[in-house]
Amino acid sequence: MLRNVTWTIVLLTSTFLSGVSDHGVAAAGFFGRDRSHAPQPPSSPDSSGTGRLPTHSRPERGKLIDNPIHVEDLHQAFIELQADYARKALYSNGDNEKEATRWRVLNNRDGVEVAILEHPSDPACPYVRMKARIPVSVQSCWDFLRVSEWDRTMPKMDPFYEGVSVHGEWVHRKTHMILCRKRMRRIGIYGKRDLVFLSVTDVPLRDGTLTSGTVSVRTNKVPRVPGYTRCFQDSIAFYKPVNNDSQTDLTIVCRIDLNDSAEDGMGGLIPMWFYVKTIGITGVQSVVRMREALVQEQTERLSGRLGE
């Protein structure tokens, strides 16, 4: 059972690595130094065996978007996500002072660092940060991870990828937004999962840094589907060019809820405490898979050019 949970975490983490729609922008100095902040398992599931949390204890999961969808609402959801990350994951005391957050490094292996931060507002759904240097250009990373390329690239990182559908695309104030539903195959005893989110990008920074964000949303335009458990996820990823843009410094900050824990959700039974205990390993695995796939594609591309 625990092995199945581990694979679930690996495939969900790969979603954060693949939320690119167009171009992006990052905030300078977004991350600070690491300090110990030990995670604690959430409380036990309810005795009914349904896996559903009591209604009064359920946290907010995803931004509620009215249907018909208005582009201003989508853009506002992204702005609120940026503000939420800045307040909770950037500043440890929640005010405007530039004090580094207290991240706890879980794993530093194979050139990948994974750290965790539990915010008291929602300790069962912690922030996770992954950092690595990818030996290809920013543009190569960006092209590989575009939503339009998922059916080709995701199987290289995620053995349980089933497919993605696009339910709308908008541009507002130079922000590019794609409404997506990602589907995942059944994993052992756990049923199929899906995620509904905005893939969001902005204009590049002057130093060439690109950013992609994923914003979990709830909308009648993409309702829950029988046979799938609706997961929650959001993220911000930064792609900074280094060494004359021959390499990319990748930084991802994200959150995942493996179960349908929204106010009107249906549960899901995957133990989140196990996610907290294993994300240091699975986060490294996800980034390494992506890095290997990117290097392989670059090698194949260069070999093709040399053969011409």
For residue range 210-238, what is the model confidence (pLDDT) as tens digits?
Answer: 988 999 999 999 999 998 989 889 999 88
d(CA 123, CA 116): 11
45 is a domain residue = no
117 is a domain residue = yes
Could you say which DSSP state residue 67 is in? S
What CATH number should be reported for the domain holding residue 221? 3.30.530.20
The count of C-alpha atoms lying within 13 angstroms of the C-alpha of 91, restricted to the half-sphere facing its C-beta, is 11
DSSP string, 21-34: -S-----TT----B
Beta bridge partners of 213: 200, 236
Q: What is the token pair recorded at 174?
A: 């130079």
> Which pLDDT value is given to residue 289?
92
Q: Rounded to the nearest 5°, which phi and psi values hold at 180?
A: -125, 155
Sign of CA dihedral 84, 85, 91, 96: negative
> Which pLDDT value is given to residue 59?
64
Which amino acid, residue 21? Answer: S
Could you say which DSSP state residue 88 is in? I
DSSP string, 119-147: -TTSTTS-EEEEEEEESS-HHHHHHHTBG
Total domains in the chain come to: 1
In this prediction, the residues of the chain whose per-residue pLDDT falls under 70 are 1-60, 90-101, 187, 261-269, 305-308
> Which pLDDT value is given to residue 198?
95
- In angstroms, the Cα distances linking 273 to 29, 100, 229 are 30, 26, 18
Q: Structural domain of residue 148, as residue ranges?
A: 2-30+59-306
For residue range 74-109, what is the model confidence (pLDDT) as tens digits?
Answer: 999 999 998 888 888 865 444 443 444 588 999 999
d(CA 234, CA 256): 7
